[in-house]
């Protein structure tokens, strides 16, 4: 784990204080962590939440799709059920 000391003022200070007052975040560290991750996602350094969800959905569906392709499973129309 790394540690960094930050100095900030003005509008950044106001934003941080307001986010804490509203209870959006529990600590200043949380605010800056989330901000760093949002920027990393924006600039393609890390995967976005949507990309992670898409990968998990595909991974979960893969075995079922394999069964369908090999004929070991069959889809039924909702009207027939």
pLDDT class of 64 with cuts at 50, 70, 90? confident
pTM: 0.59
Query: Mean of the pLDDT values across residues 44-62?
Result: 88
* pLDDT value of position 48: 83
* pLDDT value of position 22: 97
Could you tell me if 19 and 7 are in contact, meaning their C-beta atoms sit under 8 angstroms apart? no
Per-residue pLDDT of 23-49, as tens digits, reads 999 999 999 999 999 999 889 899 888
**Among positive and negative, which fits the CA dihedral 11, 16, 19, 20?**
negative
Does the structure show a pLDDT above 90 at 76? no
CA–CA gap between residue 71 and residue 81 (Å, rounded): 19
């Amino acid at each position: 784990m790394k540690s960094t000391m930050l100095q900030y003022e003005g509008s950044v200070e106001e934003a941080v204080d307001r986010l804490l007052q509203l209870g959006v975040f529990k600590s200043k560290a949380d605010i800056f962590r989330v901000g760093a991750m949002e920027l990393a996602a924006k600039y393609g350094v890390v995967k976005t939440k949507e990309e992670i969800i898409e990968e998990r959905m595909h991974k979960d569906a893969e075995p079922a799709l394999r069964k369908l392709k090999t004929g070991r499973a069959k889809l039924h129309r909702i009207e027939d059920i």
